[in-house]
Amino acid sequence: MSPVVATAAEVAIALLAAALLLCLYRLLRGPSPQDRILALDTLYIDTLALLVVAGVRFAEPAFFDAALVIALLGFLGTVALAKFRLRGDILD
């Protein structure tokens, strides 16, 4: 990996870590439940991006597998929370 790509990946990792912290703050301090659900959704997307960039930077295929699992679980969690918020019950 060239030094320019490695540096760009490290900058991207730092910025994604900052985005994770900001989303965590919104998750804990969100004024409404909708804000908290959106923060949780953004949190898993940022985590997904962080794992993909770290997988490219460190050439580790396990990061991509973890990113796939987080993507699937994050989507299901978002759907479940939205359904709970609309109907008050997850299972029909």
Per-residue pLDDT reduced to its tens digit, 22-60: 999 999 998 988 888 889 899 999 999 999 999 999 999
Rounded Cα gap, residues 29 and 67, in angstroms: 26
Residues in the chain: 92
How far does Cα 40 stand from its chain's mean position? 8
In the chain, where the domains are located: 3-19+34-87
Banded pLDDT at 88 (limits 50, 70, 90):
confident
Short-list 50, 69, 58, CA closest to 5: 58
| Burial track 10-27 (b if 16+ CB lie within 10 A, e otherwise) | eebbeebeebbeebeebb
**Per-residue pLDDT at 11:** 96
Rounded Cα gap, residues 77 and 73, in angstroms: 6
